[in-house]
Amino acid sequence: MPPRSQTDFAAFLTRADISQATFARLTGVTPRQVNNWARGRATAPVWAVMLAVLLQDHSPEALTIAVEEARQAVAAAEPKPR
C-alpha cells in the first residue's frame, strides 16, 4: 500500500528507529535515493514502503537473517545442474 504522503515513508523509518543510511545499506540503494524518497522528491517504491513498515516491528538484523534463510532454502530447493 503506498503511503498517504511521502512524509509517511520518513515517518515509518523514524518509528522503526532506522536511519536513511542504514535503510540504504540494507536495501542496496544509494543514501541519496532514500533521502529523495523521505523528502518527497521521488516516490518511494511500494517494496521500500512495505519494508519500512515491517521494520517498525522487526529489527534490521532479524529481517536480514530471515532473508538469508529464505535465500538458502530457495537455493537448496533448486535443481542441481548435471
Q: Which CATH number do you get for residue 18? A: 1.10.260
pLDDT of residue 59: 77
Domain with 10 in it: 6-77
pLDDT of residue 81: 76
Sequential pLDDT tens for the chain (82 residues): 444 555 699 999 999 999 999 999 989 999 999 999 999 999 999 999 988 988 888 877 787 787 788 778 888 887 877 7
Number of domains the chain is built from: 1
pLDDT of residue 2: 44
Asked if residue 1 is part of any domain, the answer here is: no
Asked if residue 82 is part of any domain, the answer here is: no
Q: For residue 58, give the C-alpha cell.
A: 522487526
pLDDT of residue 1: 46
Asked if residue 24 is part of any domain, the answer here is: yes
Distance between CA atoms of residues 22 and 24, nearest Å: 5
pLDDT of residue 54: 86
